[in-house]
Chains A and B, each alone.
Chain A
Amino acid sequence: MSDNVIEAQGLTKRYGGIAAVDGVSFTVGRGEIFGLLGPNGAGKTTTILMMLGLTEVTAGSVSVLGHDPAREPLQVKRVVGYLPDSVGFYDHMTARDNLRYTAALIGIEPADRDKRIAAALDRVGLPDVGEKKVGAFSRGMRQRLGLAEILMKDVSIAILDEPTSGLDPHATHELLETIRSLKHDGVAVLLSSHLLERVQSVCDRVALFNAGRIALLGTVPELARQVLGGGYNVEVEADGEGLGVLFSDIPGVKAVDQAGPSRYRLLADRDVRAQAAAAVVNGGGALRRLSVEEPSLEAIYSRYFDNQALQQQATSQVNNHAA
């Protein structure tokens, strides 16, 4: 068996002829944190539903730990935890009773149940409200309770659809910590989110959805290279002659900008601080400041969709001329 826990091949979902997800292929490795990004309606949730067998696949295939969610749903659902966006619970029941019900459905031994529930509630920061009715919970508390359910289930894949929505900054931070600890336990995490900065800080790889297709797929630096033609902004403050030429000779540097009398900005596809420092010293200059700005997902995202909009304008103009 390969090391991939999820493998999607040409996954397609059509609603009455309109493709919501259109030939999507990707893999998620064991213990990997994989992010699904993209504007509203891009097809992230639909992709997730197909992985869980909650909606029928129109074409293509997906396998979760070697099982087909449509043909062997129980095998899949035994090892996958799912946190839907805006998760709901039975309002008239207490948090603990809600989890007890799911625990019974999962088939956790009655002797084990309460212990695991208590541990999970503890881990999501809800240790004291177990006996409260969920009806009195805030949106964020429900979200945490949903996460507790996954922790209780002891899964090897966690699928989280916009887990950060409704969480305060502190809770978001805790959630990311929990996700990292899941990864540490060898759990693969697939999450969709609109908080790009957060996604970047936690995800190993991301897939950028656009209109049902995966437009970009890879690590953030990889995407930066594709979209920004670099992504690393290295700022150098140094005195010396002809430093600009020396900098542009460094492998990986795409462009050099002179921002001031002795300030340079290098656009590179990797971190070139060491080479820049060496260039200054070798050129007989004096290095005063050196800093690097990692490529931001935010920048990649907005640049990609700006380009997309420009292209669309161009094609529509061409079409208008042709008409």
Chain B
Amino acid sequence: MQREGSPWRGLSVVYFRELFDHLTSVRMLVLQFLVVLLGGAVVYFAAEQIRNTTAEDPFLFLRLFAPPGQSLLSFVLVLSILVPILAIGLGFDAINGEYNRRTMSRILAQPIYRDALLFGKFLAGLSTIAIALVTLWLLVIGFGLLRLGVPPSGEEIGRLFIFLLVTIAYAGIWLALAVTFSVFFRSTATAALVALGLWLFLALLWPALAQMLGEVISPSDIRFAQLGLPTPDTLAWQQGLSRVSPGTLYGEAVVAMLNPDAQSMTTLLAQFQGRIGAPLPLDQSIMQAWPQMVSLIAGTILLYVIGYVAFQRQEVRA
């Protein structure tokens, strides 16, 4: 069916109003305060740790975001937990909120398509998170400059910039999920609870569950086990399943970008070939994180489209 007129008519009007609303809302203020507080504390301790180690390190700034070794709390970890909350907090009442305020039919009686309303809301939410993340990113780098006393190298800036983009994509997938839930559930509380529940499930239970399921689907081979090695098939299943969780994808992409000398699973081969020690160059790191980044963006689009289709067909009675 051919539609007349542009589906984006009114998009900028919706976008700027929603953005203004988000930026001035108490909700956003609280969430941002939380992020700055937790992020600040973590970065501060990371900086202290770095100052105490005297070893030569070409990636000082990256350590600020993701300290090497099994550091319990890192800035990246704080983000991977708080960004979903931020995104869900901004998106869970996007559509059902309009129904509950009984503004939906009044707005959709104006000459705009539903596309403009939904996309405007999504973009405004994403921009709000992006603004918050960029601010935070600049704050941390500024803090690093003062505290560490050395400027970041060009490669470090590049890696940190890609890390920033990946984080925004990570926010996008959770925002798309929250917005889609706001289309499906008429109650804002239900939408928020289901989204947060799903997030908790994927963050806490899914990694362990993926291991078990992988073992069930493709049991370990005893010959590999005797050598102390994981069975390739089992490992592939486990990895594939665990990547259903956006958190896993985000984690893998971030490790690739911020830990050039880390041994991720895909570099196991390199380990066998004895290519250990030399950090990966930037382009290699990007190659490594590429599938994860694409998956995050594809997931965002998929979730958004599901919500979009449902919203198009919805009856607007309020």
Chain A residues within CB distance 8 Å of chain B: 45, 49, 52, 54-56, 71-75, 77-78, 80-82, 84, 86-91, 101-102, 104-107, 146, 149
Contacts and interface: CB of A to CB of B under 8 A. Distances in A.
B9 interface: yes
Contact of A84 (B2, B3, B318): B318
Given A74-B112, A149-B106, 6 more contacts: A49-B105, A74-B9, A87-B102, A101-B13, A102-B107, A105-B14
A74 B113 contact: yes
Nearest to A15: B315
Contacts, number: 84
A49 B111 contact: no
Contacts of B1: 71
Contact of A49 (B103, B113, B313, B315): B315
A74 B317 contact: no
Interface in B139-189: none
Nearest to B5: A74
B52 interface: no
Contacts of B266: none
Most chain A C-beta atoms within 10 Å of own C-beta, residue among B13, B106, B313, B316? B106
Contacts of B313: 56
A86 B107 CA distance: 14
Interface string B100-127: 0111011111111100000000000000
Contact of B316 (A55, A104, A149): A55
14 contacts: A71-B2, A72-B4, A73-B3, A73-B113, A74-B111, A81-B109, A82-B105, A88-B103, A89-B103, A102-B106, A102-B110, A104-B10, A105-B10, A149-B106
Contacts of B101: 88-91
B17 interface: yes
A105 B4 contact: no
Interface residues of B, number: 27
A69 to B, nearest CB: 11
A104 B106 CA distance: 14
B109 A54 contact: yes
A77 B110 contact: yes
Contacts of B3: 71, 73
A282 B106 CA distance: 62
Contacts of A84: 102, 105-106, 109, 318
A54 B315 contact: yes
A55 B106 contact: no
B106 A78 contact: no
Contacts of A102: 106-107, 110
A102 B9 CA distance: 13
A91 B106 CA distance: 14
B13 to A, nearest CB: 4
Contacts of B103: 88-90
Given A71-B3, A82-B109, A105-B10, A55 B315 contact: yes
A88 B106 CA distance: 8
Contacts of B4: 71-72, 74-75
Contact of A55 (B14, B102, B317): B317
Nearest to A106: B110
Nearest to A45: B317
Most chain A C-beta atoms within 10 Å of own C-beta, residue among B111, B113, B318? B111
B109 A77 contact: yes
Nearest to A146: B106
Nearest to B103: A88
Contacts of A74: 4-5, 9, 111-113
A101 B318 contact: no
Contact of B109 (A52, A56, A86, A90): A52
Nearest to B2: A71
A2 to B, nearest CB: 22
Nearest to B99: A88
A101 B106 CA distance: 11
B13 A77 contact: no
B19 to A, nearest CB: 13
A62 to B, nearest CB: 15
Nearest to A153: B110
Interface string B299-316: 000000000000001011
Q: 7 tightest A-B contacts by CB?
A: A88-B102, A82-B109, A74-B5, A54-B316, A105-B110, A55-B315, A77-B111
Contacts of A146: 106
Given A54-B316, A88-B101, A90-B101, A104 B13 contact: yes
Contact of A78 (B2, B17, B111, B317): B111
A80 B111 CA distance: 9
A74 B114 CA distance: 11
B126 to A, nearest CB: 21
A126 B292 CA distance: 56
A90 B113 CA distance: 20
Contacts of B108: 54
A105 B112 contact: yes
